[in-house]
Amino acid sequence: MEKRFTIRRARALDVPRILEIEIASFGPDAYDRNLFAEYTRTCGELFLVALRGTQVVGYAITCLCRDRADLISVAVHPKVLGKGAAQALMDSILRRLKRRGVDRIVLTVKVTNVRARTFYERYGFRKLRRAPRYYEDGADGLIMVKNLADLPPSRAANRRT
Domain ranges of the chain: 6-147
What local confidence, expressed as pLDDT, does residue 1 receive? Answer: 37
Query: Quick one: residue 142, left, alpha or beta (phi over 0 = left, psi -120 to 50 = alpha)?
Result: beta
pLDDT along the chain (161 residues), means of 10: 80 93 91 90 92 96 91 95 95 94 94 94 95 91 91 46 42
What local confidence, expressed as pLDDT, does residue 160 receive? Answer: 39
Closest CA to 148 of 82, 39, 83, 64: 64
Measured CA to CA in angstroms, residue 15 lies from 49, 95, 140 at distances of: 10, 24, 28
Superfamily for domain range 6-147: Gcn5-related N-acetyltransferase (GNAT) (3.40.630.30)
What local confidence, expressed as pLDDT, does residue 28 receive? Answer: 86
Residue 97, burial from CB neighbour count under 10 angstroms (0-12, 13-18, 19+): buried
